[in-house]
Every structure is written in C-alpha cells, then in structure tokens.
A and B are shown apart, each in its own frame.
Chain A
C-alpha cells in the first residue's frame, strides 16, 4: 500500500517536472507561432494582406474593422524600410523579433505627418546610417533591433464599410523593402 502511494507521488513529481519542461521549451519548438506563420505567408519583404478567414498559414484579420498585413524581413545585409501613406482614420505598426517579442510600435499620431516611414537596422547599420544619412531618409524613424530577422504587422482601420477600399489601398500601397 505504501509502495503504491510512493509510485503515485513519484508520478506527480514527474508530471510537474514535465509540465515545466514543456512550458519553458514550447516557444523554441513551436511551429505554430506567429513568426513561423508569417514566414509561411510567402516571400519576405512584401506586405501580405490577410483575409477574414484563416489562410493556409493560419493567420487571419482578427478584428473585423482592422485590415491587417504582415511582412517578414531580414536585415542581415541591408536595413529594411517600411513606408505607407496617410488618409485613413487610424493605422498602426508593430515590429516583432522571431520570438514575437515587440521591438517597436507606432501609430499614425506618433509618426511624423501621419505617414509611415520606418527604417529597421542592426546596431552596426544604424551607426553607419547616423554618420551619413542618405538624402531622402532624413525624415525616417530609425529603429535598432538586436536580431536581424523579424516581422512587421501593419493594421489599417475601416470603421465603416465605405472606408474599406481606402484601407485596402493603404495596405496594398505600403512598402516593405530592403533599403540600399
């Protein structure tokens, strides 16, 4: 009788250990995380506009009023530049590292002139850019990221159905390119 209690106690300790191991290691092994899904959307350096229904990669526009686009980037060779116009009631951008930790976020009120113009660079590239800022990038917001890879999520609000074409045009004209 004592032995069966001991067996159960050992089992419970093992269950607790396994629980901790799974919880702590899941972020490193998951292939369902947001970064993997953004990568399987398609090629990098393009904003992929999401649908209302989950697509093959498993991503969807979650808020019915927010048109959403995602873009994965890799700043190993060149910094990445994100651009978009203005003219909709609200837009917002968030940049994440591969572990889906937020590195930067901005909305239309906190940007200059309501336009999106962000350069994502590694610390080394950022130093080089600050030394000699190329003409045309003077107004850009420079974001330093510790990791070269990551993804950006751009959301455009269409509070009423008549705004949807505007929001769709905003997202499809948004740029996500390597900056030379």
Chain B
C-alpha cells in the first residue's frame, strides 16, 4: 500500500538531491568548456565574452570575479604539475622556460578555494616579469617551495595544496586561436618533504 508513495519519494529525492549536487560540483570543478590546455596550464580566453558557454556564464555569475578583458590579459592557472599530480605545499617545484609573448606577466599562488595569498610582505609570495631573475636568453627558473630557495623563489604555505596563477598582460595570446603552438613554462616536481 505504501509502496507507491515510497517510489515517488525515491524519485524526488534523487531528482532534487542529484540535480543540486551535480550543479554544485560542476560549477566548482570547472570554469566552463573551451579551455586551452598547455601542459599543466589552462586558460579560458572566452570566459568573459558573450560567446561563453552556459556553464562558464553560470560559473562567473556565481563566483562574481572581475575577469580580464581581451585587451587586458589572459590568466593561466595550474593545479597540477607536469605529471598530473596535485600541487602540494610540502613539495618543491621548478618552473622553467619562457612565457608566450606578453608585455608583462605576474605569477602568484591561490589556495584550493581560489583565494589569493595573504599579504605577507616578509616572503616573496608573488613574482612578476620585472622582478624575476633571468638567464642569458631571457628564460627563467623559479623554485616554488615553502622553504627558502636560491635564485627566484616563490613562497607557498606548507602542508596544503595550492594553485599557480600566471597572468599575461597585453598579450596576443588572448585573441589568438593558434595557441597550441605557444609554449608555457614547464612545471616539475623536484622533491618532497625536508629533503
């Protein structure tokens, strides 16, 4: 006798629970379709335009961030290293190479929730193209670690995962679709723990 209401209750619970849960997960996990992936880095050059897909529009309406216009810059983020492992504050990473052509770039870290680093003037928590030390042919090597490193050091908080945010300013990259030929810096793990 009570089986029909029970089936209806199951259907409704799955519909509402699953619908809301899957939406939350989808909006949290991705900024949308149309990502450009270059090694560990990904960027969404269409995210701020009217051509953005419904997921991107929904994500930006929910996140409420001020995005970069096409003439301003393009933001690449990396949550994993070259081998696909999540970036971890216990490990030391080496970022080497060139950025795609841009007038300026900035590099800083976000925590897993996407919050920028706490303003700690004591540690170099952010670098840019003017302050970075370069090799003879303009390339650079940045060590990303919680403990002090020689050369270019980007400090991260220990014991938590993080994301790298590399923003290229005034770059032809933002408007180009031939992005696949461009090379981004390589991001390798060189050790974990205190070693």
**A94-B68, A155-B72 as given contacts; A7 in contact with B11, CB under 8 Å:** yes
A interface bracket (residues with beta carbon within 8 Å of B) = 35 or more
CB 8 Å contact bits of A88-111 with B (1 = contact, 0 = none): 011011111001111011110110
- A14, B57: Cβ atoms closer than 8 Å: no
- Nearest B residue to A37 via CB reads B64
- B7, A7: Cβ atoms closer than 8 Å: yes
Smallest CB separation, B11 vs chain A (Å): 4
**A23-B26, A65-B106, A160-B130 as given contacts; A33 in contact with B66, CB under 8 Å:** no
CB 8 Å contact bits of A149-170 with B (1 = contact, 0 = none): 0000101010110000000000
A1-28, CB < 8 A from B: 3-4, 6-8, 10-19, 21-24, 26-27
Roughly how many angstroms separate A27 CA and B12 CA in the complex, as a whole number? Answer: 25
- B71, A92: Cβ atoms closer than 8 Å: yes
- B11, A11: Cβ atoms closer than 8 Å: yes
Smallest CB separation, B14 vs chain A (Å): 3
Q: Which of B17-25, B35-43, B135-143, B182-190 contacts A (4 or more CB under 8 A)?
A: B17-25
Roughly how many angstroms separate A160 CA and B130 CA in the complex, as a whole number? Answer: 8
- Nearest B residue to A89 via CB reads B104
- B106, A66: Cβ atoms closer than 8 Å: yes
A125 within 8 A of partner (CB): no
- B11, A94: Cβ atoms closer than 8 Å: no
Q: Is the interface of A mostly helix, strand, loop or mixed?
A: mixed
B128 within 8 A of partner (CB): yes
User: How many Cβ-Cβ contacts under 8 Å join chain A to chain B?
Assistant: 186
- B11, A14: Cβ atoms closer than 8 Å: yes
- Nearest B residue to A11 via CB reads B14
A63 partner, pick from B7, B8, B106, beta carbons under 8 A: B106
- A92, B10: Cβ atoms closer than 8 Å: no
A70 within 8 A of partner (CB): yes
Smallest CB separation, A24 vs chain B (Å): 6
The residues of A that contact B60 with a CB separation of less than 8 Å are 33-34, 100
Roughly how many angstroms separate A70 CA and B67 CA in the complex, as a whole number? Answer: 12
The residues of A that contact B63 with a CB separation of less than 8 Å are 32
- A92, B169: Cβ atoms closer than 8 Å: yes
Smallest CB separation, A134 vs chain B (Å): 26
Smallest CB separation, A119 vs chain B (Å): 17
Roughly how many angstroms separate A105 CA and B56 CA in the complex, as a whole number? Answer: 20
Roughly how many angstroms separate A65 CA and B107 CA in the complex, as a whole number? Answer: 9
Smallest CB separation, B132 vs chain A (Å): 10
- A18, B16: Cβ atoms closer than 8 Å: yes
- Nearest B residue to A14 via CB reads B15
The residues of B that contact A7 with a CB separation of less than 8 Å are 7-8, 10-11, 14
- B119, A106: Cβ atoms closer than 8 Å: no
A36 within 8 A of partner (CB): yes
- B18, A34: Cβ atoms closer than 8 Å: no
Smallest CB separation, A69 vs chain B (Å): 10
5 nearest interchain CB pairs? A11-B14, A105-B69, A14-B15, A18-B19, A94-B69
**Chain B residues packing against A (C-beta within 8 Å):** 3, 7-8, 10-20, 22-23, 26-27, 48-50, 52, 54-55, 57-58, 60-73, 103-104, 106, 108, 116-117, 119, 125-126, 128-131, 165, 167, 169-170
**Chain A residues packing against B (C-beta within 8 Å):** 3-4, 6-8, 10-19, 21-24, 26-27, 30, 32-34, 36-37, 52, 58-60, 62-66, 68, 70, 89-90, 92-96, 99-102, 104-107, 109-110, 153, 155, 157, 159-160
26 A–B contacts from the bound complex (CB under 8 Å): A11-B13, A12-B14, A12-B15, A15-B14, A18-B16, A18-B18, A18-B20, A23-B27, A23-B58, A26-B58, A32-B64, A34-B60, A68-B66, A89-B104, A92-B71, A93-B69, A93-B72, A96-B48, A99-B61, A100-B60, A105-B72, A109-B170, A153-B69, A157-B104, A159-B104, A159-B128
